[in-house]
């Protein structure tokens, strides 16, 4: 069935696609957990004396709940937002396991690798949904009838791929292995298994958790790629490699964002602004990557993209708009002063959250008195 032709400006459809692609993430419902923590039950309001282990339990429980909450709606397949949120929950839960790996003992059946496999299956369907919506909203209304007809064929191909991807996802979500994963998390949440490191106050270990992540971000080679290099002729054979580097930076930004968002309650406004900055950079790089993927898709489906000049022009506009602020961003992250300041920011959680357990303070006071 052909897409209905409606005249809409590209700017309006781009906004619509962005809203469709990245809806604001709803807050996970609070969970009745058997974890003994009288101080805090939600990461939105963290107690002064929360330990590393207690906070890990809160985060893992909330992200697991996000997955369960969306499961039935995902299988019903009536609203794409449920799939988006379940995928995000799976990614965040995997990130949480990586963040808190020194504090928690998670069974192998519920490992980060198992979550990665689950997220991949969910992502195959979600990516096809995003591509289909983008073609319909961003490009189709702005093409002539000849190019629209060619795009109809691409959309039909995507629909067939989605049917196969959904069948695969449905099979995974109804298999015993997935139920074992869920049961493992439910059992762990009821009786968390921790290491001795879990006893440390969360605020005391924040720099240790976040500093390696920031180093990975700052040392990424994509910061050295100028905008003009990404739009230069492909004759030099390096265009694809540079685009891949930008895509990898996007993934690093996403990982940084997920991890730092866990800890925004422990920092002030400046930290929150930086996290929002990373999210915006991730979004921009995502639009650039989507355009790159679309070009590959059209080449695979149509063979010769030169027969669709208007579509090629629209894709180039998308790429250009996505990287409008790239030079400013990369110069900022290459600046030694900013890099130093960012590291310093991580060392300064909010003062009222730097308090440790009273008994630890007392022990330290006794030691100091003895040394004097």
For residues 244 and 241, what is the distance between their CA atoms, to the nearest angstrom?
5
For residues 85 and 66, what is the distance between their CA atoms, to the nearest angstrom?
7
**Distance from chain centroid for Cα 324:** 22
pLDDT, position 349 = 87
What is the CATH number that goes with domain 49-200? Answer: 1.40.20.10
pLDDT, position 38 = 32
CB count within 10 Å of CB 59 equals 21
Mean pLDDT taken over the chain: 84
Task: Report residues of the chain scoring pLDDT below 50.
Answer: 1-42, 235, 352, 354-372
pLDDT, position 236 = 54
pLDDT, position 237 = 59
pLDDT, position 178 = 97
pLDDT, position 165 = 98
pLDDT, position 46 = 58
């Amino acid at each position: 069935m052909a897409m209905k032709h409606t005249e809409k400006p590209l700017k309006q459809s781009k906004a619509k696609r962005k809203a469709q692609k990245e809806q604001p993430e709803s807050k996970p419902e609070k969970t009745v957990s058997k974890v003994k923590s009288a101080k805090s039950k939600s990461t939105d309001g963290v107690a002064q004396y929360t330990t590393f282990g207690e906070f890990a339990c809160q985060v893992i429980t909330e992200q697991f709940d996000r997955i369960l909450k969306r499961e039935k709606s995902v299988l019903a397949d009536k609203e794409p937002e449920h799939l988006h949120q379940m995928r995000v929950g799976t990614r965040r839960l995997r990130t949480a396991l990586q963040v808190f790996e020194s504090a928690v003992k998670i069974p192998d059946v519920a490992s980060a690798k198992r979550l990665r496999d689950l997220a991949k299956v969910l992502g195959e369907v979600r990516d096809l949904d995003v591509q289909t919506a983008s073609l319909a909203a961003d490009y189709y209304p702005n093409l002539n009838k000849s190019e629209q007809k060619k795009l109809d064929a691409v959309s039909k191909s995507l629909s067939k791929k989605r049917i196969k991807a959904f069948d695969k996802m449905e099979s995974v979500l109804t298999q015993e292995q997935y139920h074992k994963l869920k049961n493992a998390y439910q059992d762990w949440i009821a009786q968390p298994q921790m290491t001795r490191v879990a006893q440390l106050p969360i605020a005391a270990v924040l720099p240790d958790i976040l500093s390696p992540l920031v180093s990975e971000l700052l040392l990424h080679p994509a910061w050295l790629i100028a905008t003009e290099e990404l739009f230069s002729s492909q004759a030099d054979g390096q265009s694809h490699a540079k685009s891949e580097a930008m895509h990898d930076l996007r993934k690093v930004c996403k990982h940084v964002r997920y991890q730092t968002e866990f800890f925004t309650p422990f920092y002030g406004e400046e930290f929150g602004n930086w996290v929002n900055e990373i999210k915006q950079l991730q979004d921009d790089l995502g639009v650039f990557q989507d355009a790159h993927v679309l070009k590959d898709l059209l080449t695979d489906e149509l063979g010769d993209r030169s027969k669709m000049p208007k579509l090629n022009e629209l894709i180039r506009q998308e790429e250009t708009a996505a990287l409008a602020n790239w030079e400013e961003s990369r110069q900022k992250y290459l600046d030694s002063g900013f890099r130093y300041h960012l590291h310093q920011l991580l060392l300064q959680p909010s003062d009222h959250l730097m308090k440790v357990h009273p008994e630890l303070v007392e022990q330290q006071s006794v030691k100091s008195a003895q040394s004097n």
